[in-house]
């Protein structure tokens, strides 16, 4: 659980296909992807970040998505839906499937 609000975080990071520019992808995010993702019942917040500069190491991803969800279990149910499968089909026309990593996070409090 993240914080005391019962919400959990999911991070998704990936590279774009060589034939897609960051600008094209950002347009897709603003005009389509954001509203589609926010329509899934488990998703309460969605942010997208572009990897601008690596301060250390090799650049392993172009974009990182941060989702706040009601629960991992509810998110998994959304992933099984036909709407999610249609979303993924469109999304992979931009993102390299083999580069995608999805992780759920648990906050460690001091």
Show the beta-strand stretches assigned E in 51-93. 63-69
Contacts of 103-106 with C-beta under 8 Å, sequence gap 24+, read 103/10, 103/11, 104/8, 104/9, 104/10, 104/72, 105/2, 105/8, 105/9, 105/10, 105/11, 106/1, 106/2, 106/8
Q: Is the pLDDT of residue 108 over 90?
A: no
> Which residue is it, tokens 């036909």?
82
Q: Is the pLDDT of residue 77 over 70?
A: yes
Token pair in block for residue 81: 């839906």
> Which residue is it, tokens 């249609």?
86
Model confidence over 26-63: pLDDT tens digits?
999 999 999 999 999 999 999 999 999 889 999 899 99
Give the predicted TM-score (pTM) of the model. Answer: 0.87
Q: What is the pLDDT of residue 5?
A: 56
């Amino acid at each position: 659980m993240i914080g005391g609000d019962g919400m959990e975080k999911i991070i998704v990071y990936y590279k774009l296909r060589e034939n897609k520019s960051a600008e094209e992808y950002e347009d897709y995010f603003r005009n389509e992807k954001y509203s589609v993702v926010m329509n899934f019942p488990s998703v309460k917040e969605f942010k997208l970040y572009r990897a601008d500069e690596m301060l250390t190491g090799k650049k392993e991803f172009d974009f990182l998505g941060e989702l706040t969800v009601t629960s991992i279990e509810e998110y998994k149910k959304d992933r099984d839906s036909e709407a999610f499968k249609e979303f993924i089909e469109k999304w992979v026309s931009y993102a390299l499937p083999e580069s995608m990593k999805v992780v759920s996070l648990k906050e460690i409090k001091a």
